[in-house]
Structures are given as structure tokens and as C-alpha cells.
Structure 1
Amino acid sequence: MEKLVAVLLLVSAVGAHAASFPFILNYVLLIDCGLTGKTTEHYNNQIWFPDSFFIDPGKTKQITSSPNVPQIMTTLRYFPHGEHMNCYRLQLSNTQKYIFRAGFYYGNYDGKSQPPVFDLFLGGQLWETVNSSASTEGPVFHELVYAPKNDNISVCLMGRKESGGTPFISSLEATYLNEDETHNHTVYGMMRNGTAYHLVARLNFGGHDEVVEPWSGLADLCEERLNRYWTPQPMPGHKNLSFDATACSGSAYENRPPNSVINTAISPANASQSIYVPVNFPTTTPQSAYIVLYFYQNRIVDGPPENQSGTRNMDVYIDGVMRRNVKLEGLISGDVVTLYPVLVQGTVNVTISPANGTVLPPLLNGMEVYYATELAEEASSSNGVFKISCSVIVVWVCQLIVSVFLGF
């Protein structure tokens, strides 16, 4: 009886604050597009919502699962009337920076073997032209960081006349970049409101071949907390370094890089060599880039003790132009370098070179690269933009809390 009373009190409290939904848990909204019914789904210890709460048009389809395809990508919503704007309406609890990510897995759901090309919009402005055949083995993702001007925003899909394909979507995510989650350190502090920053690459150097995925559950508070995915980047001819896993190494730095990223790095064979990383932008037209470089050193696991606490003095170059000097001194030392705006065109070369006075060779732990576009966002409207009701929230929370209490 005491447990039941506690459950009812908690449900009542959540219902009273339902306006802040869906960012109750970890400030993340996760939508599994095409998931049938009104029940939530659990994947990777996260709660995903069916997209029927957020959109009316379209039809749903189930795809045969594959080892390379996550569970949430095996359903999709497609829009036979692709000539119209088909929109998801999201109500946000704060007009600060968010990571928006949309996923697409064709999986030959229509039996035509013709992956379509169509347009994706955010806030009434073109976000990306989606080429669903860009990845033959797995999903295609498009991601950007943006601070909406209003408390609601639309994510829409529309066909292209020249291609005639039917638009579809498999997943949709919005993550609030809460400053409190990063111990009051800045989160992409140079990103301006009103500008969309499209992800080009988010790389983990020196790590294993596995993608560093978002933090889930309570397993490790030092891992990815901002719902980002870090792709491993092999660098032939470089040493792979692994450092002692000091508790939450990355939490002291801007953007809170996870332990799995900050505790690995690449380095050339000797102190006189440089690190070269080419970055391919999607178009050859001049663009404004936002580049973040992560540097960190600690005691090297299974490494020789000599010179481990020496100085790494490094110069950062973009296309041959020196942009910043980075100096790591002592056994435990780190820095995050943000370069913005950087005018780029086509392929850009990032170079980390030894500077005067260095003892140890240069290193690089992680890198994020974005390009910037301006959005003239649609006007705010509170009428009919958010379908999910308070009763649905209460039912979901009740299910969650009851399952937790019954497990005690």
C-alpha cells in the first residue's frame, strides 16, 4: 500500500508539470518513426516514443532487421503525398541550443530498390537534401546544432520534383544542451543563436574501432552525456595512445568530451613530425566552418615512464595558416580549441605541428567539424503544434514508476 501511495503521488506531481515534457529524462526527446501503437519503446537503456504523438500524415512500415541496423531503424514513416510538407511538430522546453538528429534507413521497404532523394526542413528552412542511398550498409543520419527562437519547431519532409521519390524517416531526436550537465562549462559557446551548425564529422582518434555512443543508464557518469556519437578515425602511420582513466577526465573541459574520447589519442612517431587530418565538406562552395579540437595527456598505459610528464607544444594550422598554439605541461593536462568562423572550401587540411620548445610529439584526441547556415525561422504558434496529451504523459510515467517500484 505504501508503494502504491508513493506511485500515485509521483504521478500527480509529474502531471502537474507536464508542460515541460518531453525533456523530463536527460533532456532528450527520442522518436521512433513508424513505431505502431501508443506505447514507448526501450533501446540502449533509453525511452523512445512512437511518432504518432507528433504527426498525422503518412503511413508506417516494418523492415526486416539486420546486424548493421539498430532496432529503432527497422520501422519508418513514409509520405505518399510527398509534394506536400509533412511535418513533425515539437514543443521545446527552452529556446537554448539543441542537437537535432534525423535518421533514414531505406531497407527497400517498398520493394522498388530505388532509394529516394528528398528534402528535410527545420523550422520552415531547408536543413538537408537527403540521399537515402548514401549508405548501402546502414542508416543515413543528418545532424545539426541550433537554438530555436520559439518554444516549438517543425521538422518537415517534402519530395523533390526532379527526383520524384517518396520521402520517409526512421528516427528523430532533439537533445537540449544543458549547461548544468557540464559543470557550468560552456557547450559550443561560440555558436550563435539563429545560425544552424551542420555536423560534418565528430571523430575519436586513437580509440578502438567501435563508435562511442551516448551515455545511457547509470553505468558510467563519465561517458557521453550530450547524446553525441563519436566515430573512430584510424590514422595509419601514427601511434595510438591510451591514457590512465582518471575519473571524468573530460568533464573539466568545454563541451564535456567523454572519457572514451579524451583518454585516447594519436601521435606521430617522433617530436619533429606533424599530424595531418583532411576534412571533406559536402560542397565545394565557400562555407563558414566551426572546428573543435580536443587535446589531453595523462600517463600512457603500458608506455615508457621517461618523458611522460614533459611538455607538448603544438601549433594548429588550417590550410597552412596558423590559428592557435596549444601547450600541454605536466602529467595531466588538456585543452579545447574552438576555431570559428573559418572560411573553407571543398577539402580542408587540419595540421597539428610541433612548436618551438616541445619535448614530446604533438597529439590529437578528438575533433568536431560543422559548417554554418543562417535560418529565418518560422513564426511561433501554439495552436495544434503538439499532439501529445497530459493523459498520455501520466500513463507513460505511471508505467515507468510502477515497473521501477515492483522491481524493488
Structure 2
Amino acid sequence: MKHFLLVLFSVLTTILVLIQAQDQSGFISIDCGLPAHLNYSALDTGINYISDAKFIDTGVTKRITPTNNNIKQELEYLRSFPSGVRNCYKINVTSGTKYLIRATFLYGSYDGLDKPPQFDLHFGPNVVATVRFSNHTSHFTYREIIYTPSQDYIQPCFVNTGNGTPFISVIELRTLNNTAYVTYPANSVLSFWKRSDVGSITNLQYRYKDDVYDRIWFPWDLPSDLRRLSTSLNKTDLNQSSYKPPEIVMSTAVTPVNASAPIQFQWDANNVNDRFYLYMHFNEVEELAENETREFNITVNDKFLYGPVTPYTTIFSTKPLTGAPRYHVSLSKKDNSTLPPILNAFEVYKQRDFSISETQQDDVDTMTNIKNAYGVARNWQGDPCAPVNYMWEGLNCSSDGNNIPRITSLNLSSSGLTGEISSSISKLTMLQYLDLSNNSLNGPLPDFLMQLRSLKILNVGKNKLTGLVPSELLERSKTGSLSLSVDDNPDLCMTESCKKKNIIVPLVASFSALVVIIFISFGFWIFRRQKGTSQIT
């Protein structure tokens, strides 16, 4: 019985470990271009991928012809955007939650041109990066950011800059701990620059399932003045922080060959004004004797960053590093330490400014409702108002740079609109200009237009509207606060008398027609009667 319970406990423990390993809550993994009816679990990672069909309604699906068997399953398909300047996905997320977001691109000469494009990647109104490809034959790259959305969705956009057709292979989102990777100001994002497993003894990349956040860890080229340390590490031996570096990475480290020498590494900036955040992950991998200690200080470009450090945590720069073309990091043993420094892993991120505000949420929702109500055939993609160069056709917005953009002008003239004027328009509360002319709108000119207190120009001419123009609109037109155009709506009245006239005229016409019919019938009757009398005579 005791043996059975031990076996049962072992089996249950194994199942729980497997369940935890397969837990992908907070993961959104999109295989772009994958047919809508398909989904799968990747063979190498077990990550569950779905089609992008429900997240976008533009672009075309393409498939790469594999030149060998090394192409990953999630990279076989892609979505290309030959039409439109800006094409955007809309992916629902939890606002206020921190995400690692990765966009992956494999060109693979899918178009047969063997000429990889160059294009911009935006998130909503803000530029993330220019996507470029190296001369390597695979033409593979990815862009990764850490971002806390303020809305309940994100909009990755691919912008044609005239250097080839944009495309996308994979979009992946992973929720992070909100206390990790903190930046100031809050509206900035972290863009991946470097992530190294410095003590790697396998020379392999690691991601999920080794990393619960699915960060990709790259092996480091070991300098000759450093040597590797490794140990067999259990979860209980790992001092986990909110960053949760993977066990396989934290079970190895580097240390100086010369015990009195420092550990040193560096990276280059593209511009001296670039701003970087540095994260260093430490975990002791040696069994220290009672009389042994390991303490060290960290400097960046000879300026003190942190210390003394004991290797049991994550150390990071609390403010951005900036003002230099190169950043030289040094970990130096303290005088009272018996052991040299160690380093398990480090990450470098470039801070990007996401200061362009997204359009006010109610305005965005309203424009979406208007688009759906009328089936507007325009390339309305991404944020309606920003950036200004890609503002939606037919819109103008307030954009003073300090406040959230609001829609102030809507021009849907000659857009093939049918049906009644949508009540959604009344929710564009800052609207000053509204042009619905030259369509086939019917029904009354609605009272809810009177709620648009900022409206200065209203043009509904050349439609099929009926009834009476609301009195307040007429009054505002008379006082000059509203320019009102209602011409070429034959059944739309400006006054009550017009309305009565419109009722009387058809009645008079009908009565007149009836009188004519009676006279004709009476004349025909007389003619028949006279003809009959003549025949008798």
C-alpha cells in the first residue's frame, strides 16, 4: 500500500509539472497567413498557434517554398500587404497589463524577387522600428518590445515606405509581471537590444518552455579572460525575482580566469542620444565554504551603478543610460571579497518614446460603428487620427500635441451611404464639420444632431431625406452659428407650411385626377346614351 501511494504521488507530481509546463495563459501566438481553419502546437516549443484571420481583414496569404527542412512551422506562412499604405491588426489585450510583444519576419523570397523589402512597424500611432533585413540568405529578423497598453487592444501596423511590400510572419504576445522592466516615463516602451546567456555550455538558444515568459536567450561568445561555471540547479536553489530567468540559464555563469580581474562586456549605440536600460541576472552556482564570500561592484563607463552585489538577484539601471556611443560594463571584486564576481545573464533594452497619444476611445469606437453600419469602403486602418501622415481619409482631428486627439471633421460625401443617418454620429461630441452630401440617405434629419454643440457646418444635400428639419438646427442656421445645407432633398421641409403643402399638393392632385376621371366617364356615358337613342330612331 505504501509503495502504491508513493507511485501515485510520483505520477500526480509528474502530471502537475506537465500541466504547468503547458500553461500558456497570457500567451497569444498568431501565425500570420495561416488558413483560418488551421491551428497547431509547434513541435519544438509546444506553443499553440492560431490563424490571424480574425485579427485583420486586409492583406494576402503567401507561403514560403522551403529550401531545406530547417524552417520552423510557424514561419511557413506569411501575410503580405501589396495594397494600402498602412495595414493594421487589431488584437484584444488587457489594458494596464505589461506584455512582451514580438513580431517575426522571414522573407524567404516568397514573391520570387529575391529582394527583401524595407518598411516601418508601428504600434498604433507610434513608430517601433524600421524593419530591415541583412544580406544573409535567410533574410530573417524580428522586433520585440515590452509595452503596457493603455487601451483594451493593440494595433500592430505595417507601413509601406516605398521600399517594397510589407509583410509579417508571426505575432506573439506574452504577459509579464507588472513590477518587472519598469521605465520612466510610463508611456515609454523597451525595445529589445541584446539578451545573453553568458555562461552557456550548450551553445543553444532557449525560450519557452524553459522561459515562462518566452524570452529568447542567446549564447554568448566567451572572451579568453573568462571561464565558465556550471551546476545542477533545482528550483529551490534558484532565487526567483519578478523577472523569472530560466533555470537552464541561471545554472551557468562566467567568472574571471584571473581572480583579481573584472568581468567586462559592452554594447554600441546607434546614436549618443539613445537611452538604454540594463538588466543583469545573478545566481550563485558554487557551494561556498563558510570562510568564502563573493561581493562586487558594478560600473558603467567608469561610473558607479550598484554595489556591493551578492549574486542572488536581478540588478538593473533605475534610470536610462545615455550620452555615449559605447557602454562598457565592469563587475569588479571588492577588497574584502574572497571570490571574484560572476555573471549568469544580462539583457539590454533601448527605451523608445510612445508619446503620440491614441485617439480618444469613444471616438474610435464610434468610427468603427459608422464603418460597420454603412460598410464604408475605405482603408481605415490603425489609429484614426495619428500619426498625422496616416490620418483616416475623410477625417480631421484636433492635434495640439498635449491632449488626446479628438475627431473634429467627418466627410462621407459621395460614399454610397444608404439607410438613415446613424445615431452613432451623435457620439462624436467634438465634431465641427459633418458632410453627408451626395448619398442615398433616407428618413428624417434626426434630432440627435442638435446634441453636437460644436457643429459649425452641416451638409446633407443631395440625399432622399424626408420630414421637417429640426427647429434648433434652423435657429442656429438663422443666427449664423451653423452653416446648414439641405438642398436637393425634395421631401425635406424647412418650415411647417412646407410640410402641410407637401401633404395638400398630393391630395389636390389626387382630387383633380378623380374629377377628370368622373368627367370622362360621364362624357362616355352620354355618348353611349345618345348613340343608343339614334339607333332606335
Decide: shared fold, TM above 0.5. yes
| CA distances 1:230-278 after superposition (whole Å, capped 9, x unpaired) | 1111212111110231225446224111101111111111221111111
Which of 291, 297, 308 aligns to 2:284? It is 297
**Equivalences for 1:9-408 in 2 at 5 Å?**
25-43=24-42, 44-65=45-66, 66-81=68-83, 83-133=84-134, 135-137=136-138, 139-161=140-162, 163=163, 165-178=164-177, 186-190=179-183, 192-207=185-200, 208-215=202-209, 223-237=210-224, 238-247=226-235, 249-250=237-238, 252-281=240-269, 283-299=270-286, 310-328=292-310, 334-339=312-317, 340-375=319-354, 376-379=356-359, 380=361, 381-382=364-365
Whole-Å separation in 1 of the counterparts to 2:332 and 2:135: 34
Q: Residue type matched to 1:245 in 2?
A: L
**1:355 to 1:345, Cα distance in 2 relative to 1, 3 A:** same
Structure 1 equivalent of residue 480 of structure 2: none
Which residue identity is paired with 2:302? G
CA distance in 2, matches of 1:241, 1:191: 35
Q: Secondary structure at the match of 1:72?
A: helix
Q: CA deviation at 1:127?
A: 0.7
Kindly provide the amino acid, as one letter, of the partner of residue 225 in structure 1. V
- The alignment partner of 1:193 has SS state of coil
TM-score of the pair, normalised by structure 2: 0.59
Relative distance call for 1:264 and 1:189 in structure 2 (3 A) is same
Cα distance in 2 for partners of 1:73, 1:344 equals 38
Residue pair 2:239, 2:313 contacting (<8 A) in 1 also: no
Alpha-carbon shift at residue 191 of structure 1 (Å): 5.9
- Give the count of matched residue pairs: 336
Q: Tell me if the contact between 2:34 and 2:78 (Cα under 8 Å) persists in the aligned partners.
A: yes
TM-score (structure 1 length as normaliser):
0.77
CA distance in 2, matches of 1:276, 1:310: 23
- CA separation of 1:358/1:192 partners in 2, compared to 1, >3 Å: closer, same or farther? same
1:99 touches 1:146 (CA, 8 Å); kept in 2?
Answer: yes
Q: CA–CA distance in 2 between the matches of 1:264 and 1:273? A: 19
Q: Which has the higher strand share?
A: 1
Q: In structure 1, give the amino acid aligned to 2:125.
A: G
Q: 8 Å contact 1:319–1:350 — kept in the other structure?
A: yes
Greater relative CO, 1 or 2 (CA 8 Å, sep 6+):
1
Larger radius of gyration: 2
Tell me, yes or no, if the aligned pair for 2:180 and 2:243 is still in contact at 8 Å: yes
**Contact conserved, 1:120 with 1:156, CA < 8 A, in 2?**
yes
Q: Report the Cα distance in structure 1 between the residues aligned to 2:186 and 2:299, rounded to whole angstroms.
A: 27
Say whether the 8 Å CA contact 2:207–2:214 is kept in structure 1. Answer: yes
Quote how far apart the aligned CAs of 1:224 are: 1.0
**CA–CA separation in structure 1 for the residues paired with 2:137 and 2:365:** 40
Q: Unaligned stretches of 5+ in structure 2?
A: 1-22, 370-537
Matched residue SS, 1:160? strand
Q: Partner of 1:252: helix, strand, or coil?
A: coil
* d(CA) in 1 for partners of 2:312, 2:108: 43
CA contact (8 A) 2:260 2:333 kept: yes
Letter in 2 for 1:61: K
State the one-letter code of the partner of 2:180.
V
Structure 1 or 2: more helix by fraction? 2
Q: Give the 3-state SS of the residue equivalent to 2:155 in structure 1.
A: strand
Report the CA distance shift for 1:176/1:377 in structure 2 as closer, same or farther (over 3 A): farther
2:500 maps to none
Aligned counterparts of 2:249 and 2:290: Cα–Cα separation in 1: 19
Give yes or no for contact 1:134–1:140 (8 Å, CA) kept in 2.
no
The 8 Å contact of residues 326 and 335 in structure 1, kept in 2 or not, is answered as: no
Output the CA distance in 1 between the equivalents of 2:112 and 2:193: 31
Amino acid in structure 1 at the alignment position of 2:74 = I
* CA positional deviation for 1:134: 6.0
Distance apart, 1:344 and its partner CA: 4.5
The 1:275–1:160 alpha-carbon spacing in structure 2 relative to 1, beyond 3 Å, is: same
Q: Where does structure 1 lack aligned partners over 5 or more consecutive residues?
A: 1-23, 180-185, 216-222, 301-305, 386-408
C-alpha change, 1:109 and 1:254, in structure 2 (3 Å) is same
Q: Provide the rounded CA distance (Å) in 1 between the counterparts of 2:145 and 2:177.
A: 16
Whole-Å Cα distance in 2 between the matches of residues 112 and 34 of structure 1?
19
Provide the C-alpha distance between the structure 2 equivalents of 1:42 and 1:122, rounded to a whole number of angstroms.
27
8 Å Cα contact 1:250-1:257 kept in structure 2: no
Distance 1:122 1:273, change over 3 A: same
What one-letter code is carried by the residue in structure 2 that aligns with 1:195?
S
3-state DSSP of counterpart to 1:363? coil
